[in-house]
Amino acid sequence: MSQNLIRHKNNMERRIIMTPVPTKEDSKSENVNLTENIACPTANENGHRLLKNLSLTFLSFFITMLFATAVVYAVVSNTRKTDLPQTQTDPPSTIESLFIGNLPITDTDYIQTEKSDVPTDKASDLANDTTDDMPPTDAPESYIPTDADFPTDGTSEPNEPPKKQNVILSVNNILQKPELPNGCEVVSLSIVLSHYGFPIFPLDLYNNYMPKAPYKNGNPRYYYIGDATGVGLGCYAPCVVTTGNDYLAEQGSELKAYDVSGHPFEHYESYIERGIPVIIWGTVEMNANDKLCWEGILGGQYVNWHAYSHCLVLIGYTESTYVFCDPLVGIVEYGKQAVSDSFNIMHNQACIIE
């Protein structure tokens, strides 16, 4: 028994001796390790924390990029506005400034086909105008448009007055026979002069004012060829205009004769609507016979004379006919197509006094 106690005691002492006594440094080291072991998160907690940090970083980056994009867009937009021209002051090129379609224009009043239908120099005036219902018109400033100037069918173009179907001027006719059997041109001029109040006799007008030339080398554009009181051919519009202006100048009149040749015949209806009779060249009875009795080169120009040429005065029109003072037969009507054909044969010649 005593031996067992002694053995147990010895074992205890041996265990105590073999077990090292912890120092302060060991205690601190153990405390630190213990603290670190307690504060160290698990792998799952580390993953959640990393995901949260990445989300915050991405959100911050997205907001920063959005703000930067907005700033760049604002700067670029402002730069483009300052670079664009505010007005177009240069007119179109020389060729383009002549016509658009059929609308003549000038360097100071032109149509902008891309930006606006209003010339640049007028655009600012319109922009500053506070009038609510200012109609689009090129009329002078003193012109005040009314409801009648605008259509009622919903279109934007002004209404044009309807064309009259029957217009006949009150003009007295003069016959060329017996004094001037081949003087229809000078008699037609006398008809128009008498209409304007000049009491000139056709024979006096022929003898004293009309230029004349013999058959040989005579140009009917500028002279009466032959003899109107006997055997003669006649003359063309320039000769009649010269005769009329010489007479009007001697009378001290402000009226003048004008050569208005070269248009389709319906063009001359507008003169009738204005009360102006028109001297025209056609054929006898408007038979559209284009037989030539003479042609040649005079002064470098080709000249011909039609056997049935005739000069008369247009004084009116109806829906289907033209009305004339005809020095051969009196006041007469001819069909529009026949008149147009005969007029074309005689080179579309016409003259007026106004």
Same-domain check for residues 116 and 187: no
Q: Return the axis-axis angle of helices 184-195 and 202-209, rounded to nearest 10°.
A: 110
| Angle of helix 237-250 versus helix 202-209 axis, rounded to 10 | 100
Range of 122's domain? 87-161
User: Would strands 278-283 and 350-353 be described as parallel, antiparallel, or unpaired?
Assistant: antiparallel
- Give how many domains the chain has, as a whole number: 2
25 part of a folded domain: no
In a shared domain, residues 101 and 213: no
Q: What is the pLDDT of residue 217?
A: 77
Distance CA(226)–CA(309), nearest Å, equals 15
Q: Are residues 231 and 260 both part of a single domain?
A: yes
Could you tell me if residue 224 is inside a domain? yes
Residue 103 domain flag? yes
- Give the pLDDT of residue 15: 56
Instruction: Report DSSP state, residue 153.
Output: S
At 328, which CATH number?
3.90.70.10
Tokens 């730069």 — which residue? 79
Asked which of 125, 143, 161 is the last residue of a domain, the reply is 161
Contact in structure between 230 and 182 (CB atoms under 8 Å)? yes
Q: Judge if 185 and 115 occupy the same domain.
A: no
Are 134 and 193 contained in the same domain? no
Q: Give the per-residue pLDDT at 60.
A: 79
CB atoms within 10 A of CB 106: 10
User: Do 142 and 288 belong to one domain?
Assistant: no
d(CA 326, CA 310): 9
Number of helical H runs and strand E runs in the chain = 9, 14
In a domain, 33, yes or no: no
Residues 216 and 237 in one domain: yes
Co-location of 129 and 255 in the same domain: no
The span from the CA of 64 to the CA of 69, in Å, is 9
Quick: pLDDT tens for 1-30: 555 555 656 666 555 545 455 555 554 444
In this structure, what token pair is assigned to residue 60? 């911050």
Q: Are residues 182 and 282 in the same domain?
A: yes
Q: Judge whether 326 lies within some domain.
A: yes
Q: Which of 146, 161, 176 is the last residue of a domain?
A: 161
Q: Report how far residue 337's alpha carbon sits from residue 325's, in angstroms, rounded to the nearest whole number.
A: 18
The pLDDT of residue 137 is 37
Instruction: Quote the pLDDT of residue 55.
Output: 76
- Say if residues 354 and 258 touch (Cβ distance below 8 Å): yes
pLDDT of residue 4: 56
What does the block give as tokens for 138?
Answer: 């090129």
Rounded CA gap, 258 and 268, in Å?
Answer: 13
Strands 224-226 and 232-234: antiparallel
The DSSP string of 23-45 is -HHHHHHHHHHHHHHHHPPPHHH
Distance CA 189, CA 351 (A): 9
- H/E element, 15: helix 2-18
pLDDT, one tens digit for every residue, the chain (354 residues): 555 555 656 666 555 545 455 555 554 444 444 444 444 555 566 667 777 777 778 777 778 888 777 777 776 666 554 454 444 444 433 333 333 333 333 333 323 333 333 333 433 443 444 444 433 434 333 334 445 544 444 444 445 556 678 999 999 999 999 999 999 999 999 999 999 999 899 999 999 999 999 888 789 999 999 999 999 999 999 999 999 999 999 999 999 999 999 999 999 999 999 999 999 999 999 998 888 877 877 777 788 888 899 999 999 999 999 999 999 999 999 999 999 999 999 999 999 999
Nearest to 219 by CA among 227, 229, 208, 211: 211
CB atoms within 10 A of CB 256: 13
234: in domain = yes
Asked if 139 and 273 sit in the same domain, the reply is no
| Residue 195 included in any domain | yes
Question: In angstroms, what is the C-alpha Rg of the chain?
Answer: 53
Q: Which pLDDT does position 94 carry in this prediction?
A: 36
On whether both 153 and 173 belong to a single domain, the answer is no
Using alpha carbons, select from 287, 264, 269, 186 the residue that is nearest to residue 229: 186
**Of 144, 161, 178, the domain-final residue:** 161
Does some domain include residue 77? no
Give yes or no: residues 258 and 204 share one domain.
Answer: yes
